[in-house]
Amino acid sequence: MSSAISPLAPDHFPALPPIGGVTLRTARARYKEWDRADLTFVTLEEGTSVAGVTTQSKCPSPEVEWCRKALVLGRARALVVNAGNSNAFTGNRGREAVEAIAARVAGRLGCEPSDVFVASTGVIGVPLPVDKAEAGLDAAFTADPCGWEDAAATIMTTDTFPKAAVTSAVVDGKTVTLAGIIKGSGMIAPDMATMLGFIFTDAAATPEFLADALRDANGRSFSCITVDSDTSTSDTVLAFATGKAGNAPLEDAESDGADAFRAALADLCLQLAHLVVRDGEGATKFISIAVEGADSDSSAHRVALSIANSPLVKTAIAGEDANWGRVVMAVGKAGEPAERDKLSIRFGATQVAKNGLAVDGYDEAPVAAHLKGSEIEIGVDLGIGEGRATVWTCDLTHGYISINADYRS
């Protein structure tokens, strides 16, 4: 956790109401030599449904593998989140640590270990110390309930500010609330989600409905952000629905309020995803990249990510350099259908290139002024189809190098 807050951070932590059936607690397991809580323990009342999306990395953590198996059952009673140690690439010792955590919580709550979800974030390759985990859990079991901001701060690693969002929807005549916390700052190029995100709602929903809604929301939010092109071994987003709002359970598209709930969930996920980008390691600019005129939506998405992940584009933005030729480069290297002489590019509201050429009489002054701001827009029109996509990223500064050159120390 950095002492310097990102210049892109919101002015304040949002006001999140309690969610019926959800109780938050934190404790100090002391996974690292720091004077802060680093274990979050959430209890969920019986009947809670769960859905999730996890990393596409071929080297997933034991926690990810555990969650994948537990998600098949669709029920949850507890969540444990460890910060400072990802427990990834730790073999049998890592798996045994997850099993020990789940067993200890299950024994406390009188539920099955598979009802306990576990996530960890931090250094890769160091087995999670079971003794510290169990001592942290014992402290959490008897700790006073805490608020959302404490829970959000506890799951942080290199994050500079706690992240949360809230939305609501009317379902079956009842107002349901959705609240979420997330952590993520570096190693952000998710194929599914980003880092660790946890969403809680008092709506009643079947696991199948919740899973479908989350997959859709993820595709338009977490899978559309990148900080540094690196996909984590631990990426996990879980959504829990306690049913305490009293609505008739959401089961399918025909359920009363299904569309409203899906829209609220998509909005919540997008808010959370944007917060991660705004806390990108060393970030000073929030960058939106909109691609249209592509062969397909998926093709547009890949072109947008090629631009967003380009170190040359990102460093040019950091230096407030209107070097739109680097955008041309990133489009060309994406491996997607494109025609040079149909390509158009804009920075902010200013068209800089059209039909494969610089715009006649192009004046760089308004572009330079746009790049001095903290909210940057890049637009690309490939001119060959109807596909479109938007992704979000941040600039690449010396701060990113400073953070990651000595991350383990």
Q: Binding site membership: which residues?
A: 157, 183, 194, 281, 404, 409
Amino acid (1-letter code) at residue 117: F
Binding-site sequence positions for substrate: 157, 183, 194, 281, 404, 409
Calpha distance 27→44 (Å, rounded):
18
For 141, the token pair is 């079991």
Angstrom distance (rounded) from CA 278 to CA 161: 10
Closest alpha carbon to 171 in 210, 218, 219, 208: 210
Question: What's the CA angle centered on 393, arms 317 and 386, to 5 degrees?
Answer: 105
Instruction: Report, in angstroms and rounded to the nearest whole number, the Rg of the chain calculated over CA atoms.
Output: 22
Q: Is 70 helix (H, G, I), strand (E, B) or coil?
A: helix
Q: Where are the alpha helices (DSSP H) in 309-364?
A: 311-318, 325-333
Cα–Cα nearest to 238, from 29, 100, 63: 63
d(CA 202, CA 179): 9
DSSP state of 205: B
Residue 266's SS3 state is: helix
Dmax of the chain from CA atoms? 73
Which residues are catalytic, by number? 194
CA gap 189, 294 in Å, rounded: 22
Cβ-contact 261, 176 below 8 angstroms: yes
The residue assigned the tokens 């409905």 is 209
